[in-house]
Structure 1
Amino acid sequence: MDPLAARWRRAVSSLKELRLRAAFLRSELLRAEPSSVARALDELCRDAEQASPLARDVLGAAVPVLADPELAERVEELRRIAAEGSLLSLSRLLRRKARRQAAQPASPAIDERRLATSSAGRALTLGERRALARRPTRAAFEALLRDPHPLVIRNLLANPRMTEDDVIRLAARRPASPEVMTEIARHPEWSQRARVRMAIVQNPGAPQEIAVPMVRLLLRPELTQVVAAADVPGVVRAAARELLERRPPVPRGPGGAIEQ
């Protein structure tokens, strides 16, 4: 067993709060040598492909960190190490979109009529909307949920009045804003919710660099649903199909087996 992967397993199993798990993995990904991180992630990916619950928990804490744009250079370095070192499971986790595919669509243009407004009907400034999103009240939530700016969404996701249904509405919105989807994916708690993950993975506008790693965290029924979804990008469906094929059967007595 890789020593760094073993360390991460022990730490994650002892940390019950999702936010603490993500903070720990973030510090580890930045502290350790990239080659060591790559080997540890490859082992965990391989074990998660074989339905190891603990490996999946560790990856669940790592995926939001890998989705953080601030770590883009580190992720690219890990992708390079995986390719050069034939770390196949890690390569599948960090699979980039095919070059022949069209670029991700630009974020929708801002329609000020849909932004939160003052009592006088004036569209609020970005600073005002960010401040409003931090208030522990659901006032103006409907308008804030439509806000296209990622900094507003970041504050909204941290609002104690935010609900899982609210986050699912954000993640399922079409046309999707890649920046907003990234904010949801990098959140250490909301991104761990199964329904939120599925909303991201099934949104055709979700950046594939986010959707593909999230596929590694899905259970068999969810993977089957993704494979059957015609509007999910091909690279995401391919990742789900590949993982289904690698997922082992679960024994059910002497009469046969069922698969999870």
Structure 2
Amino acid sequence: MNFINKHKTADNITAMVRRAIIDAAALPEDAMRLELLAKRLGALDADGTARFFDELFNDTGNAHGAMKLKSAIINSEGLKRALGEEKYNGVFTASIRLRLRKVSCLFSELPPLKKGLAGYDKEEEIKMEHMPLGIRRALSKKSVKDTIDRLLSDPDPIVITNILNNPRTTEREVLKIASKRPNSPAILNALANHKKWSKRYGVIKAIAMNPYSLPRVSITLLEFLLSQDLMEVLDDNSLHPQVRINAKEILEQKK
């Protein structure tokens, strides 16, 4: 590709990103934003798609709209369905070759820095773990506050999802789930993609700073953090090195 064509392609991708940001901001749900991405990126090859996401991460023109689009791509399974598995894998390979590190983190399956068994750790709650799973799932849908409190440490993602959907659940309980260590990456991922709670700043920060979160989730959530919280991420040795590197880059962009 010659010099002129390279710049023309880059300009086209920049225009695509800015148009997608504007259109995505007008949509009410992340699922609809992923459908929009699927249509817009259909004509791009893996290299072009990798450059699209790199441009999205670096675009500072429409911060509010960009954040809405970024919130949609936290859902790796949704993103994989939108692009198709073959293209999804191709974008990861392209991002490595093109040295688009932030994009490669988004499309990678890096494990959390820390691993541990999620579950009950308080003596008064341990008896809940011995209940049959079906009963715990049923209880998590009830409106009994004391029962919800006792189930906050449950290791089953469906129990936790039921709690997140329970109208009696408050942000205080959700923050307990998001901050719990050790924790399950599946539970933290479900919380990061929850329609209601994933939009609360305190919850976003807690997931991003939990060393049991998948790095791709934490790295995407960093885009939503204030500078003082990014500094906290940068100084936290318990977090994955890639998470801390991205926090540093975002801080430098904010200067």
- Report the number of matched residues: 235
The one of 15, 40, 46 equivalent to 2:58 is 46
Aligned to 2:4: none
Is the partner of 1:216 in helix, strand or coil?
helix
Equivalent pair of 1:43/1:89 in contact (CA under 8 Å): no
In proportion to residue count, which structure has more helix?
A: 2
Equivalent pair of 1:5/1:43 in contact (CA under 8 Å): yes
TM superposition shift of 1:168: 1.0
Aligned to 1:23: 31
TM superposition shift of 1:225: 1.9
State which drifts further: 161-170 or 50-59.
50-59
The one of 57, 77, 80 equivalent to 2:93 is 80
Tell me, yes or no, if structure 1 residue 168 matches structure 2 residue 143: no
Q: 1:96 to 1:129 in 2, by over 3 A?
A: closer
Is the partner of 1:184 in helix, strand or coil?
helix
Tell me, yes or no, if structure 1 residue 204 matches structure 2 residue 211: yes
Aligned to 1:66: 76
Q: 1:68 to 1:205 in 2, by over 3 A?
A: farther
Is the partner of 2:31 in helix, strand or coil?
helix
Aligned to 1:195: 202
The one of 164, 173, 196 equivalent to 1:157 is 164
Equivalent pair of 2:207/2:218 in contact (CA under 8 Å): yes
RMSD of equivalent CA atoms: 3.4
Q: 1:228 to 1:138 in 2, by over 3 A?
A: same
Aligned to 2:22: 10
Q: 1:27 to 1:193 in 2, by over 3 A?
A: same
TM-score by length of 1: 0.74
C-alpha distance in 1 between matches for 2:77 and 2:222? 13
Equivalent pair of 1:61/1:188 in contact (CA under 8 Å): no
TM-score by length of 2: 0.75
Equivalent pair of 1:138/1:161 in contact (CA under 8 Å): yes
The one of 232, 239, 243 equivalent to 2:246 is 239
Aligned to 2:5: none
Q: Deviations for 1:142-163, whole angstroms, at most 9, x for unmatched residues?
A: 1211111111111111112222
C-alpha distance in 2 between matches for 1:26 and 1:246? 26
C-alpha distance in 2 between matches for 1:240 and 1:108? 27
C-alpha distance in 2 between matches for 1:130 and 1:102? 26
Equivalent pair of 1:226/1:237 in contact (CA under 8 Å): yes
TM superposition shift of 1:246: 2.2
C-alpha distance in 2 between matches for 1:133 and 1:246? 43
Q: Which amino acid aligns with 1:84?
A: R
Structure 1: give runs of 5+ residues left out of the alignment: 250-260
Q: Which amino acid aligns with 2:24?
A: V
Structure 2: give runs of 5+ residues left out of the alignment: 1-11
C-alpha distance in 2 between matches for 1:110 and 1:241? 35
